[in-house]
Structure formats: C-alpha cells, structure tokens
C-alpha cells in the first residue's frame, strides 16, 4: 500500500494549522518534517517548536533530520511524538548504534541517503532500519528538479532488501509529482514524500488518490 507523507516545508506557515487539516482531509498518512541546520544542508528550516505544534494535531510525524550530529536531538524528537525518525547516513558516525537507539525510543528508525551516496553503503545495516529514505533531490530545499540517477537506486535497494529477506519500507523524497511518481513506485517505493506538488495542487485529495492508485500500475 502506498502511503503519503505531506512535507510541511511547502505549507503556509502563517496558516500551518489550516494547512495540516487540509492535508489530513486530503488523505495524507504522515506529516513530513524537514529539520535543517545550515550545516549538513545549506539551508535552515525549523526545529522543535514547529514539530511540537504539528504533533499536537495528532497526525503521525515523519521527522527527517538533515542535521549534523543527529544523536544530540533524537531523544527530544521522540519525546515530541515522532513516529519515524530519519537520520542521514552521511551525517551519522555510528549508524548501527543510532538506528538501534531510535528503535529503543519506540520510533521507527529511518536512514536517508543523498543522490550521490550509493545504496550499497546500507548493505551491512539492512536489518537495522525500518525505513530507507532515498533522496531524489539534493537535500536542503523544496521545489527542486529530480536527479534521475537517484530514482534508479530505488530498485537496487529493493533488490538488496529482497535478497536479505528484510521488510523495510522504501521512502522517496524530492520532486515527487504526478509526472515523476509512477517510475518511483515501479522501482519499489511505497512511502512518498511530497511538498510543492501536493500543496499547490488545486485538489489535494485528488492528487493523493492519484499517487496512491499508482501501485496498480507498478
């Protein structure tokens, strides 16, 4: 089953509550929260206060930490109610330890890789995560164009997981839109993050239904 994570980076921050409600009614499964530190990525977004505010809506949170030293903040985001906490492979010194810590806190453990990072880098961690987040753009900004080679890595990772008999979810983040999502789904992703395309869609509910219906064509 395809699940949709609405990326609040694309929301109207002056009307965040209304936008979250719009996403809930449209059928989003998660709110995707992009936490950026201006160090791991060249942009700063938001942190704990916004995550706390959207947690109060009761929507499941998918927290994407695009930060250096993510270990410093994992406990706090777990306490705020994150369902999924994702760290970047490139920013995490002891990935196995960090992922197990996220699980111990009662959250689903996610690991993300940037477009230039090979999926094989996760080869010795296959049992350690619940979600693998493949970035289909370079992290840091919404509204970018897809990196086509990153989409190919989805199938590589799916094969690695299948061979190992591991049932982790593949999530894709960056320029997921009506014209890009089918290939992403065909390659094996089942959790789709969408920001600009979803929030700008004239009918967010129809947009989400179309994306969810793409599994049939996979």
Which 100-139 residues touch ligand DX5, going by CB under 6 A? Answer: 137, 139
Q: Candidates 32, 88, 153, 212: give the one binding ligand DX5 (CB under 6 A).
A: 32
Comparison of 127 and 143: residue with beta carbon closer to ligand DX5: 143
Binding region for ligand DX5 (CB under 6 A) out of 89-97, 120-128, 154-162, 193-201: 193-201
**H helix intervals, the chain:** 16-26, 48-55, 74-79, 95-104, 148-164, 181-186, 196-200, 204-213
DSSP label at 171?
A: E
User: How far apart, in whole angstroms, are the C-alpha atoms of residue 146 and residue 7?
Assistant: 16
CA distance 65 to 123: 21
| Residue 173 assigned to a binding site | yes
Buried b (16+ CB within 10 A) or exposed e, 67-101: beebbebbeebbebbbbbbbbbbbbbeebeebbeb
Please say whether the beta carbons of 189 and 132 come within 8 A.
no
Pick one of ligand DX5, Zn ion, none as the site partner of residue 19 (Cβ within 5 to 8 A by kind).
none
Active site residue 37: no
Catalytic residue among 19, 34, 62, 128: 34
Q: How many CB atoms lie within 10 A of CB 53?
A: 15
| 194: contact with ligand DX5 by CB under 6 A | yes
Nearer to ligand DX5, 34 or 169 (CB): 34
Task: State the first-to-last Cα distance of the chain, in angstroms, to the nearest integer.
Answer: 11
Interface mask toward Zn ion for 34-53; x: CB under 5 A: x-------------------
Q: Which of 9, 51, 55, 151 binds ligand DX5 (CB under 6 A)?
A: 9
Find the binder of ligand DX5 among 193, 204, 208, 214 (CB under 6 A). 193
Q: Rule CB under 6 A: choose which of 7, 92, 98, 180 binds ligand DX5.
A: 7
What is 101-112 written as a DSSP string?
A: HHHHTTSEEEEE
Please say which residue, 64 or 101, places its beta carbon nearer to ligand DX5.
64
Q: How many residues bind Zn ion (CB under 5 A)?
A: 3
For ligand DX5, the binding residues (CB under 6 A) are: 7, 9-10, 32, 34, 64, 137, 139-144, 173-176, 193-197
């Amino acid at each position: 089953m395809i699940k949709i994570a609405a990326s609040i980076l694309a929301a109207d921050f002056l009307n965040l509550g209304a936008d979250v409600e719009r996403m809930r009614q449209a059928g989003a499964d998660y709110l995707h929260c992009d936490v950026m530190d201006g160090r791991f990525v060249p942009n700063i977004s938001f942190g704990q206060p916004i995550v706390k505010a959207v947690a109060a809506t009761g929507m499941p949170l998918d927290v994407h930490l695009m930060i250096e030293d993510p270990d410093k903040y994992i406990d706090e985001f777990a306490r705020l109610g994150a369902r999924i906490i994702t760290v970047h492979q490139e920013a995490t010194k002891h990935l196995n330890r960090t992922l197990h810590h996220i699980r111990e806190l009662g959250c689903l453990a996610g690991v993300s890789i940037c477009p230039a990072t090979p999926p094989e880098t996760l080869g010795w961690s296959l049992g350690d995560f619940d979600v693998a987040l493949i970035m289909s753009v370079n992290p840091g900004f919404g509204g970018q164009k897809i990196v086509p080679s990153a989409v190919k890595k989805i199938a590589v990772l799916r094969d690695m997981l299948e061979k190992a008999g591991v049932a982790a979810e593949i999530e894709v983040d960056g320029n997921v839109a009506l014209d890009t999502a089918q290939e992403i789904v065909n390659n094996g992703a089942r959790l789709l993050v969408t920001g600009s395309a979803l929030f700008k869609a004239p009918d967010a509910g129809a947009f989400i239904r179309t994306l969810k219906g793409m599994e049939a064509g996979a």
